[in-house]
A and B are shown apart, each in its own frame.
Chain A
Amino acid sequence: MHALEKILAKASGKKQVSRGEIVTAKVDMAEVNDLYLQVIQSFHKMGATRVKCPDKVCFVLDHYAPAPTIHSAANQKAMREFVKEQKIQHLFDINEGVCHQVMPEAGIVYPGMLLVATDSHTTTHGAFGAFGTGVGATDLATILATGELWFRVPAIIKIKIDGTPRKGVMAKDIILYIIGKLGPSAAVYKGIEYCGSAVDQMSMSGRMVLCNMAVEMGAKTSYIQPDKKTITYIKSKTDKKFQVFTTDLDYQYSDEYNFDITDLTSQVAKPDHIDDVDNVSDVEPVKIDQVFIGTCTGGRVEDIGIAAKILSGKRVHDGTRLVVIPASKNVFLESLEKGYITSLIKSGATISAPGCGPCLGAHQGVLAPGEYCVTTSSRNFPGRMGSTDAKIFCASPATAAASALEGKLSDPQKYL
């Protein structure tokens, strides 16, 4: 069995599960974000009165943090009331940040667990050896009512990434390159395991980026075998006992891909397709109206750090806006302590409250018709960040910062 299958087997009380089998599994943590009051509505429609396992549920108010409209404020209010009434153990309110950063920081993500959330980027938690997967509101309501959910045991794809990246080439460049090669539906209904020397060398933040964007290839879940780095991170956050599963040597992957990233340069996904990827240096340097550095894909300390380094002592280009949103309160604090935030503000950046920001076009820097944006977030679908007539380039934080500096899409190489 694959480690991911072993996690599903344990959660469903079975010794063995196999590809394609439907299992009903107990969920170790279910997370609801503030987009989905529908979860509570479906819960009530099911006739449920009490949340089955309130200690295994968390609410994170991150997509509209702080609330920009009366409607979103009312949704958040209803969620806070539900959390209190149901004695739900974890509420991360508007001061905390994006769920996929906040949950690991809070020590509620650990190897071997089954984590389900109302967010497609829940694949991120494969970086910690967890089975993380996104669902819709009614599936999540089922978990609140019963503590469990049905899953089809997925086939697993192995992606081996070897080599040492060039200076300034980040996890985001690597995953964009891979998505460009494999396409947006390469892993629909499947899991993706990442391995190889490039993954071994990568920071936890970098590994989270790889796993996060697995869903942009359609993946149900993602996995990186926990190593010393993973265990050190988890133990710094929680005393909870956990089990690390490993994949059997005879496990048959559905597909295997090998990449060597030694010579890779900065990558960009061009509007409007995440798999329309090219070298930044080979793309026409169009004028950029806004640069956004943030989100569960590109708003961590090392992301803000490289932007601060590139922009240090310099000014954002006249006519270009730079919006920086730390992924969490803790990321914000650490970036402040390291001087990154002060430096970025002096360079002309607008800093906004931790959360999802304009990634999904909700608030804090949405795009006007005809505007061009470089973003460290994960999606460039038409209309994703505001107007359907705006154009979005997805790139690394280094490329984003270089583009803010030059006012056009720019390769960061010469600044590093």
Chain B
Amino acid sequence: MINVIKGKVWIFGNNIDTDQIYPGRYLELTEPNKIATHAMEGVDPTFSKNFKSGDILIAGDNFGCGSSREHAVITLKELGVAAVVANSFARIFYRNAINLGLPVLICKDACLKIKKGENISLNLSAGILTSLETGESIQGEKLSDHVINIISNGGVIPMIRAQLLRNTKK
């Protein structure tokens, strides 16, 4: 697990839903590289062109609300989003992100304290966001042991793969 992530910030508001992250009209796509070209299209149609791999998203309340679509995580991950920070996450988006290994951090009011384009670092295990420009740190929520276990296994797919192999050997 990569513990410390550094990157430049993009700021979004409250209730960024899965239709804005990944519009429903592209749900038939199944190849991650094609899915990535439509990231955040419902909020900003130029986003995927201007985004630099390794950048970090910071949003307000309830990021990822709406549909169960895993495409919303695939599109961000494949585009190179290093992490998503938000006041809170919608439940299914949060599970999907953990399952696929997209780091997510609940950190209240980061979207108000950090500005677009600012460089920050995230310490995932400690749940701390630090501005590399002002030096200010914000304490977010630490990931639960269960979530850390999934992430340290490389996501749910390798974890289940290992579990199935163990069962076969038994």
Q: Which of B120-170 contact A (CB under 8 A)?
A: 144, 146, 155-157, 160-161, 163-165
0 or 1 for each of B15-31: is its CB under 8 Å from A? (1 = yes): 10101100111011110
Interchain CA distance A184-B27 in the complex, whole Å? 24
Give the total of A residues in contact with B, Cβ under 8 Å: 51
Instruction: Check A379 for interface membership: any CB of B closer than 8 A.
Output: yes
- Cross-chain pairs A/B with CB under 8 angstroms, 7 sampled: A38-B70, A47-B165, A48-B160, A75-B30, A138-B100, A138-B155, A189-B91
A-to-B contact residues, CB < 8 Å: 22, 35-38, 41-42, 45-48, 63-64, 69, 71-72, 75, 117-120, 134-139, 141-142, 145-146, 150, 152, 184-185, 188-189, 218, 220, 273, 360-362, 366, 379, 381-384, 386, 388
Instruction: Check B108 for interface membership: any CB of A closer than 8 A.
Output: no
B-to-A contact residues, CB < 8 Å: 15, 17, 19-20, 23-25, 27-30, 41-42, 61-62, 65-71, 73-74, 88-92, 95-96, 99-100, 144, 146, 155-157, 160-161, 163-165
Contact A47 B92 (CB under 8 A): no
Q: Evaluate whether A135 and B95 lie within 8 angstroms (CB atoms) in the complex, with A142-B156, A145-B160, A362-B25 already known.
A: yes
Min distance, Cβ B145 to any Cβ of chain A, angstroms: 9
Other than A46-B160, A379-B66, give 19 A-B pairs with Cβ distance below 8 A. Answer: A35-B69, A48-B164, A64-B28, A71-B28, A72-B28, A118-B68, A136-B70, A136-B92, A137-B70, A138-B100, A138-B157, A139-B96, A150-B146, A188-B88, A218-B65, A218-B91, A362-B28, A383-B19, A383-B20
Contact A381 B91 (CB under 8 A): no
Contact B69 A185 (CB under 8 A): no
Interchain CA distance A117-B92 in the complex, whole Å? 11
Min distance, Cβ B80 to any Cβ of chain A, angstroms: 20
Which of B15, B69, B91 is within 8 Å of A220, CB to CB? B91
Contact A35 B66 (CB under 8 A): no
